[in-house]
């Protein structure tokens, strides 16, 4: 497998370390609770009306998809910390100078999730580059 293909598949976490559920078992409310997001923040993040924010069978597809993206990204960070959920939670809450002195959680809250995801993927690629080069 080429190095590009190997890193492509590394964007999906191997485990649901944060307990959000996978596929049909996905629990969007758990993501919202874990990041301590308010209804207005979820609305902004998913680009849906605040009146549409709900977590039952009638959840808007766009909202479910966006929260699933967030869940996957959070689990990728948890894997980078070797499954240490305390370190993962602290990383999301701590201000990060590489993100303009804003915490990753606040990046999500402020609607900058795409920028955060790119930052995380870039950092993960940089971590993998020495391993791939050594092989």
Per-residue pLDDT tens, the chain, 135 aa: give them: 444 444 445 556 668 999 999 889 999 999 999 999 999 999 999 999 999 999 999 999 999 999 999 999 999 999 999 999 999 999 999 999 999 999 999 999 999 999 999 999 999 888 775 554 455
CA–CA separation, 111 vs 124, rounded Å?
A: 22
Domain ranges, residue 85: 3-134
What is the predicted pLDDT for the residue at 126?
Answer: 84
CB count within 10 Å of CB 69 equals 16
CB count within 10 Å of CB 80 equals 17
pTM above 0.75, yes or no: yes
What is the predicted pLDDT for the residue at 35?
Answer: 97
What is the predicted pLDDT for the residue at 5?
Answer: 42
CA–CA separation, 3 vs 135, rounded Å?
A: 10
Q: What is the domain count for the chain? A: 1
CA–CA separation, 96 vs 115, rounded Å?
A: 13
What is the predicted pLDDT for the residue at 4?
Answer: 46
What is the predicted pLDDT for the residue at 60?
Answer: 97
């Amino acid at each position: 497998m080429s190095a590009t293909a190997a890193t492509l598949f590394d964007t999906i976490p191997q485990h649901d370390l944060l307990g959000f559920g996978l596929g049909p078992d996905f629990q969007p409310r758990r993501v919202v609770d874990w990041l301590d997001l308010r209804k207005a923040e979820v609305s902004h993040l998913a680009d849906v009306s605040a009146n549409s924010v709900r977590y039952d069978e009638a959840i808007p597809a766009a909202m479910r998809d966006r929260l699933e993206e967030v869940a996957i990204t959070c689990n990728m960070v948890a894997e980078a910390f070797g499954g240490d959920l305390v370190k993962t939670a602290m990383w999301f809450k701590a201000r990060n100078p590489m993100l303009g002195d804003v915490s990753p959680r606040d990046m999500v809250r402020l609607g900058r999730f795409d920028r955060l995801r790119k930052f995380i993927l870039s950092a993960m690629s940089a971590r993998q580059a020495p391993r791939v080069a050594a092989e």
